[in-house]
Structure 1
Amino acid sequence: MPGILSSTRSSGSAQFKHNQVRPALKFRNADERVWHVKRRISSYLGAIWIADALLQIQPVMFTEDLVSSVIQTNKALLPSVLTPYFESAARYISQDPQAWNVIFAILQFLIGSLLLSSSHLPVKLCLCISIPWSLAVWFEGEGLGGIFAGGLSVLSGFPGAALLYVVVSVMLLLPDHFWLSTDRFSPVRDAPSVFWFPAAIQQSLPSFWAPVADSAQIINNASYPPPMAYAVSDVALVFAHFGWIANAFLVAAMLSISFGTYGEHSVIYAYYPLFALTLFIWIFVEGIGGIFTGIATDLNTGPLILLLSLPSFSHARNRRRTLLSGCITSHAG
C-alpha cells in the first residue's frame, strides 16, 4: 500500500507539473503570441462593428430623428468655433437621412466583416478606413466625446466610444516590436494605465463629490426595461446614500488599476478589478450602450475599454505563466 500511494502521489505530482508548464508553452515564440492577441482583438472589434451596423438599421434611424435625436443633441458638447462645421454636416445629412443611414450601416457592416477576415491585407485596409470614419463619428455623432463640455467622466462615456475605436485600430496597426517592447513605457502594454489614470483624476474633480453626482449619471444613462431598471435604480440609490464614500471608492479603484497595470512588471490581479469596474460601468451606467432606447448607434465605451486592456492583460498573464513554469521546472530539477 505505501508503494502504491507513493506511486500515485508521484504520478499526480508529475501530472500537476505538466499541467502547470503547458500553458506557458502554448506559443512557440513571442511573435506568435502577438499575432494571436492581435487576431483575437481584431475579431472582437469586427463583432462590435457589426453590432453597431445592426443598431444603425433601427427604424428610427431612417427618419428625421437621425438628425434631431441622435446628431443634433451633440451640438451642445462642442465649442462655438466648431458648431458651424457641425451644423453644415447635420444639414447635409438631413436632406436625405434614409440614404445616408443606408451608407452608414453598409460601411460599418463592411468594416466589421473585413475585420473578421483571416487575411492580413483586408484587416489592415479595414483598420485604415475605420480610423477617419471613427474620427468623423467622434465629431458629428459624439460631440468630440464631450471633452470641451466639462462635467463628464468615464461613467458617462467619456472620452467617447468613437475615439476608442481609433485607439484600438491604431494599436492593431502598430508593428509587433511595439507590442513586445520592454521599455519603461510602452503605448500598447501600458494603454489601460494611460486610460485609467486621467479617468481617476477627472473623477476626483469637485463636481463628482456631491451626494447625487454619480447616482445622477447612473439614472441618466441607464435605459433598461423592468425589472432590470429596478436593479439600476437600487444601485443609484446606493451611490446617492453613500455620496463621497462611493466616489472615493471609484477614484481609488481607478488609481489602483492604473498603477497596477503599468510597466513591464504589471500585476495580473489588477486586471480583475479593471474588468469588473468596466462591466459595472457598461451595464449599470451606460445601459449596455443604451440599446433599449431605440436610438443607440454603438455599444458605448465598455467593450472598447476591455479591448484596450487585452494586450496588457495578455502580457501580464504570459509573464506570470513563464515565471511559474520556470519555478516549477527549477523545483523539479
Structure 2
Amino acid sequence: MLTMPFDRRRALAYGLGILWIFDSLLKIQPAMFHSLLVVNVLAPAATDSQPPWLFHIMMEGARLWIHLGVVANILNFLIEAVIGILILKGPDTTSGRWGLWISLIWGAIVWIGAEGLGGLVTGSPSVIQGSPGSIPFYAAAAILLLVRKDWWTEEHVYQVARYGLAIFWFIAFIWEVLPSSGFWTPNGLAAQFGDITMNGNEPTILQMAINAMVISSQLHPVLENGIYSAILLVLSLLSFFRPKSRWTAIITGVWMIFLWAVPQAFGTLLSGTGTDPGMFLPFTLLAWTLLGPQFPFMHQRQAQSEQAS
C-alpha cells in the first residue's frame, strides 16, 4: 500500500492546533491553581533582569492573575483550547483563520506579559535557556498558515526553512559569544542551567543532571561555552548549506533534545507548573513540516505515490 504525499501545510495546521490544546490542558494542572505559580513561574520571569517598563507590565499581569484566582486558569484554558480547536478546522476555513489570528494576538499578550519577550531584552538572551521562548515559533507557524495556499511551493518552503533556521542559529551564536552576555564567566554560564530549573521542583534524576551541568559550567566556563558556541555556528552553517542533509537533522535533533531535557528541564513540565512545552516542540514541528519532504525516505515515499497516481 503506497503512502499519500506528505502534506506539509496540513501537518503544520494539525500540529499547531494540537500544541495549543496541549497548552490549554497545562493550565488546569492542580499546581496551576496554587499561589506558588506566581512565586515560581511568573515572578521569576518578571525579575530576571527585565527593563523597568517590561517589569511593570509583567508584575501587573501577575497581580491580575492573583486577583482573578481560579478564573484566570479557566480563562487561559478556554482561550487556548478554543484556539487549538479552531486551527484544527484547517487554515482554509473561516474558523481556522480566526483561530490563527486569535493565536497571534493571544500569543503576543502571553509573550510580553508572562514570558517577558522570551528574555530578549534582559541583556543576556540565550537559546540554551530557551530564548526567544515558544511563542515566536507558534507565531511563525500561524503566519505561514495564513499565507495563501498557492504560495506553498517546494521552492518557497525550502527557502523559508533554509534562511529561517540559518538566521535563528546564527543569532543564537551571537548571543552566546557576546562578552556582554557574561557566558564566558563561571556564574554567567552556570546561570543558563540554574536560573530556571534549580528550584527543587524537578524530579531527582533531572535535578542531579542540572546540578552537574551547573558545577561543570562553573569549573570550565570558557571551554564549555566555546563548545556551545561552536555547535550553534555549525548548525547555522549546516542549515544554510546543507538543510536537506540527514546529518543536519540528526545534529539539530540531538542538540535540541539536550537543551530541552537539561537546561530547560523539559519546559518544566515535570514540575507541575509548566505552562507550555517550551520551544522544543514548536521548533521541531516547524522544522519537520517545512523540511520533512526533503528527507530522502519521505521524498522516496512521495515519488512512489506520484508514480502510482
- Greater displacement, 177-186 / 307-316: 177-186
The corresponding residue for 1:3 is none
| Rounded Cα–Cα distance in structure 2 between residues aligned with 1:155 and 1:265 | 22
| SS of equivalent to 1:291 | helix
* Contact 1:191 1:308 (C-alpha < 8 Å) held by counterparts: no
Trace 1:197-236 onto structure 2 (pairs within 5 A). Answer: 197-206=170-179, 207-211=182-186, 213-222=188-197, 224-236=202-214
Other-structure match for 2:11: 40
Q: TM-score normalised to the size of structure 2?
A: 0.81
CA drift at 1:46: 2.5
Query: Cα distance 1:263–1:319, how it changes in 2: closer, same or farther (>3 A)?
Result: farther
The answer to whether 1:123 aligns with 2:96 is yes
Alignment partner of 1:81: what SS?
Answer: helix
Deviates more, 1:209-218 or 1:161-170: 209-218
Which residue of the partner structure matches residue 29 of structure 2? 58
- Separation in 2, partners of 1:194, 1:301: 16
Q: Deviations over 1:88-123 (max 9, x none)?
A: 444443322211221111111222233344684233
AA at the equivalent of 1:221: I
TM-score (norm 1): 0.76
| Cα distance, 1:264–1:174 mapped onto 2, change above 3 Å | farther
Q: Contact conserved, 1:178 with 1:188, CA < 8 A, in 2?
A: no
Query: Is the CA contact (8 Å cut-off) linking 2:54 and 2:116 kept in structure 1?
Result: no
Contact map agreement 2:158 2:290 (CA 8 A) in 1:
no
Aligned length: 297
The residue correspondences of 1:2-13 to structure 2 (distance < 5 A) are: none
Gapped runs of 5+ residues in structure 1? 1-21, 28-32, 326-333
Identity of aligned residues (%): 25
Q: 2:144 and 2:74 mapped to 1: Cα distance? A: 29
Distance 1:145 1:219 in 2: 16
Change (3 A) 1:244 1:102: same
Q: What is the one-letter code of the residue matched to 1:49?
A: W
Is 142-151 or 183-192 further displaced after alignment?
183-192
**Tell me, which stretches of 5 or more residues in structure 2 are unaligned?**
304-309
Residue 181 of structure 1 and its aligned partner are, at CA, apart by 6.0
Q: Is the Cα contact below 8 Å between 1:74 and 1:140 reproduced in 2?
A: no
Other-structure match for 1:255 = 233
Do the aligned partners of residues 176 and 275 (structure 1) sit closer, same or farther apart at CA in structure 2, a change above 3 Å counting?
farther
Determine whether 1:190 maps to 2:166: no
1:148 and 2:121 matched? yes
Partner of 1:330: none
Letter in structure 2 aligned against 1:259: L
CA distance in 1: counterparts of 2:126 and 2:115, whole angstroms? 14
Aligned to 1:132: 105
Corresponding residue to 1:299 among 274, 277, 293: 277
Bigger shift: residues 282-291 or 103-112:
103-112
Q: Which has the larger radius of gyration?
A: 1
1:178 Cα deviation after fit: 4.5
Q: CA RMSD in A?
A: 3.3
Q: CA shift at 1:173, angstroms?
A: 2.0
Per-residue deviation, residues 26-64 of structure 1 (Å, max 9, x unmatched): 53xxxxx4xx11222222222322222222112343344
Match of 1:187, as an amino acid?
A: V
8 Å CA contact 1:53, 1:105 repeated in 2: yes
Instruction: Point out which structure has higher relative CO (alpha carbons under 8 A, 6+ apart).
Output: 2
Task: Output aligned runs, 1:75-114, within 5 Å.
Answer: 75-76=46-47, 77-114=49-86
Distance 1:319 1:257, change over 3 A: farther
